[in-house]
Amino acid sequence: MPVAAVERLARRVAGTLTARFSSRTRFWLQFEGCATRPDAGSVESLRRLGLQIHGADSARVQALQRRHRRSAA
C-alpha cells in the first residue's frame, strides 16, 4: 500500500481506532514503566505479557465460536 493511501486511510478511520488491550490496566502500567525506563528485560517482559493477553483473548473468542456452532447445530 502506498504511503499516501495509508495516510488517507488513517485520517478516515482515526475516530474509530482504539488502543489494543485498552481495558488491561496492568499492561499499560507496565508499558508506561518500560517507556520511562527502557531496558532489555522490561521490554521483553512487556512483550511476553502482550503475547499472553493476545493468546487469552484469542482462546476466549475461539471458545465463544465453538459454543455458538454447537448451539446452532
Q: Are 30 and 45 in contact (CB under 8 A)?
A: yes
pLDDT value for 23: 87
Q: What is the pLDDT of residue 70?
A: 80
Q: Quote the CA–CA distance of 73 and 52 in Å, as a whole number.
A: 32
| Cell (9 digits) for 7 | 495516510
Domain boundaries, the chain: 22-72
Q: What is the pLDDT along the chain (73 residues), one digit of tens a residue?
A: 788 888 888 888 888 877 788 888 999 999 999 999 889 999 999 999 999 999 999 999 999 888 887 887 6
Q: What is the pLDDT at residue 11?
A: 86
pLDDT recorded at residue 73:
65
The answer to whether the CB of 39 falls within 8 A of the CB of 45 is no
Distance CA 72, CA 44 (A): 42
User: Rounded CA gap, 23 and 56, in Å?
Assistant: 14
